[in-house]
Amino acid sequence: MSNVTSNRIAYYRYGGPDVLCWEPEELSAPGVGEVRIRQEMIGVNPVDWKMVAGYFRHTDRVPFPHVPGWAGTGVVEAVGTGVAHLHIGDPVIAGARGGAFREHLVVDASLVVSRPDSLSIEQAAGLPSSAVAGYSLVENLDVAAGDTLLVHGAAGSVGSAAVQVAVSRGAEVIGTASAGNHDYLRSLGAVAVEYGPGLLDSLRRHRPIDAVADAVGGRETVAVTREVLGTRGRAVTAWGDPHSDAAGIPWVRHPADELEQTVALAARGVVNVRIGATFPLARAVDALTFSQTGHPAGKILLVP
């Protein structure tokens, strides 16, 4: 198995998206337990710009140069020793832990699952990290028929997956979003409410809420969660911060096997990723700048 010449997006210091650069690299053959993937599409997640900005510099310091990217899909082009479940030519989805913003990706095979024929390349690239987190929120809350679930940030990539999984389990779902996303939330089977100053009043008009999946975080959102649940109910967040910590709301960070379960749900049409915008990989600066707005109206994708 030979080396391959490729291109990647890398950064050499923390900062805004403009610290990213497009550069060539030489990738070696995959090592023990690894595969090399020729990537067809890459998913962008808010964690990408947050890592570039150094949000996790005190807990998960990265060695420079670092390559962003937690999601990709493509075709296996080389297999390291000790990998039995993947073969050259297999279409796959990778839930990487950083490093996916590159044309060819060498990755631990345990983070890679097969891409079902029924999934488009766009859908496949949109699943790792965000849709997996949405699934994981609902799973951790043990949402079932008869529950009323509030999803904060229901129109986002995490929240919309949580809505779809919870609806498929027979739960009543109330989702917060800005008015422009309310038709979208209704199309997923959720009741749409606007976030902001009137949120608590809107929620009081609905059934008592049993559980909250928070895909937003922050002081106001956590305060609403505590208010609607009182001393009862269950809550988890996809964005752990000092406010959710202080309120005792656990931060769900999904284990790798939940990628497989999320992919299976997507293959059955239970989870559908809304696609927001697509950029060439070389324009990752623009993609992360767009992600930073917090209102991308769908998954942002990169094409190598």
Ligand X SMILES: NC(=O)c1ccc[n+]([C@@H]2O[C@H](COP(=O)([O-])OP(=O)(O)OC[C@H]3O[C@@H](n4cnc5c(N)ncnc54)[C@H](OP(=O)(O)O)[C@@H]3O)[C@@H](O)[C@H]2O)c1
Binding residues vs ligand X (CB under 6 A): 45-47, 129-130, 133, 152-153, 155-159, 176-178, 181, 195, 215-217, 221, 238-239, 252-254, 291, 294-296
**What is the smallest separation between the CB atom of 176 and ligand X, expressed in angstroms?**
4
Judged by beta carbon, residue 164 or residue 181, the one nearer ligand X is 181
Packed helices 157-168 and 132-141: angle between N→C axes, nearest 10 degrees:
50
Shortest Cβ contact with ligand X: which residue?
156
**What is the smallest separation between the CB atom of 245 and ligand X, expressed in angstroms?**
14
Handedness of CA 129, 261, 271, 232 (dihedral sign): negative
**What is the smallest separation between the CB atom of 82 and ligand X, expressed in angstroms?**
27
**What is the smallest separation between the CB atom of 291 and ligand X, expressed in angstroms?**
6
Judged by beta carbon, residue 6 or residue 45, the one nearer ligand X is 45
Judged by beta carbon, residue 128 or residue 304, the one nearer ligand X is 128
Judged by beta carbon, residue 6 or residue 157, the one nearer ligand X is 157
Judged by beta carbon, residue 154 or residue 281, the one nearer ligand X is 154
Distance CA 16, CA 222 (A): 27
DSSP string, 220-275: HHHHHHHHHHTTSSEEEESS--HHHHHTT--B----THHHHHHHHHHHTTSS-PPE
> What is the β-pairing status of strands 4-10 and 211-214?
unpaired
**What is the smallest separation between the CB atom of 220 and ligand X, expressed in angstroms?**
7
- Rounded to the nearest angstrom, the gap between the alpha carbon of residue 258 and the centroid of all alpha carbons in its chain is 12
Asked if 104 and 27 touch (Cβ cutoff 8 Å), the reply is yes
